[in-house]
Amino acid sequence: MSTTLAALRRQLAGPGLKPVYLIAGAEPLLVIEAADALRARAKELGYLEREVLDVEAGFDWNRLGDAARSMSLFASRRLIDLRLPSGRPGKDGAAALVDYCAVPPPDTVLLVTANDWSRKHEGAWTAAVERAGVLVAVWPLKREELPDWIGARAASRGLRLSTEAIALLADRVEGNLLAAAQEIDKLALLHAGQAVDADTLEASVADDARYDVFRLADAAIAGDAARALHIVAGLRAEGEELVPLLGWLLTQLRILLRLASAPNVDAALRSERIWPQAREGVFRRALKNSDRSHWERCLEQAGRIDRIVKGRDELQPIYAALGKLPDLTAWREANGWRELERLVAAIAGTRRAAFLLERA
């Protein structure tokens, strides 16, 4: 069947999943978040094994049939994650998808995602998907729909935006949902739990000094280690907390990992819709200087910092075994900032810091 994003969210709250899902549209943020929600629900329901198939030039569609026939090695349920950026599988792909949908394998969910979509993409294969499962066509929001979307997203982040602030933000982002999401995340860090009116929003956007956490990420990704470390020192001196700061760094690192994993960087950058667009050059240079494994190590280091700050690092079981849990708050904070310096230097491409991450 064909459904909407809202209906999909309601379905995912139900007891089970359909055998096949196609989530397609030219609005990358909505496609990404819908697919992430489905993956998360599948994991909750025991679909613990996941196989990713990236469709690019020369892709062998026999791999889909092989995946359907193969037995799960580690779990009774599995997810096949088929990424079809163009939304056009071609003759062989369409046939493979029709065959798959005719007899979907048991205890398996096929998720197909596409970053381009129109009525022209539809055909026998999409009809087969609708018979076997669910097709979610994600259409770009209309200008008049954007304020409601911004208000709902802000509320989900603990922000209360006035009607005037929502209108101002809608004008600023010009329909770019990824840009809107980034601005809302920034505002949530700066004004969590507070009411934000148009004047406050204008001041927050204009006051560059209050965006140090975001300038930190930009300086590190741009390869300016000295400036990035200087910002870290300033944030620490001002009493900033590490966990909110890590949130933004994690967002940027995940973007870099997705870009580094993409077969076509140009297409991936268009999908991410980095905002403002001038930042694309910074991301391109960072990708040239480091490969996927580097960004994976950076993400692991960010996770390590989070565990240190929250008291879930490797010292916890040691002290628990000794029967005593001393107050390690000061040590954790100092160690967390020290590990953050290593992470920032590694993101900036400092060879010594990258070497230390490899050994950590």
pLDDT in tens, 75-96: 578 888 999 888 888 889 899 9
What is the structure's pLDDT at 341? 92
Average pLDDT, the chain: 82
How many other CB atoms sit within 10 Å of the CB of residue 226?
11
- pLDDT for residue 351 is more than 70: no
**Which segment of 65-69, 81-85, 200-204 scores lowest on mean pLDDT?**
200-204
Q: Does residue 61 surpass a pLDDT of 70? A: yes
Q: How many CA atoms lie within 13 A of 87 on its CB side?
A: 22
pLDDT at 206 over 50: no
Helix, strand, coil shares of the chain, percent, nearest 5, are 65, 10, 25
Tell me the pLDDT tens digit for each residue of 248-281: 888 899 999 999 998 888 888 887 877 666 788 8
Q: What is the mean pLDDT of residues 191-219?
A: 71
CA atoms within 13 A on the CB side of 129: 27
- % of the chain beyond a pLDDT of 70: 87
- Please tell me the predicted confidence (pLDDT) of residue 208: 39
Kindly compute the dihedral angle of the four CA atoms of residues 336, 342, 346, 347, in this order, to the nearest 10 degrees: 40
What is the spatial distance between Cα 30 and Cα 292, in angstroms, rounded to a whole number?
Answer: 25
Provide the pLDDT for residue 173. 73
pTM for this predicted structure: 0.56
Q: Are 108 and 76 in contact (CB under 8 A)?
A: no
Share of the chain above pLDDT 90, in %: 17
Residue 212 pLDDT more than 80? no
Of the pLDDT bands very low, low, confident and very high (cuts 50, 70, 90), residue 214 is confident
Task: Judge whether residue 321 has pLDDT over 70.
Answer: no
The pLDDT of residue 189 is 80
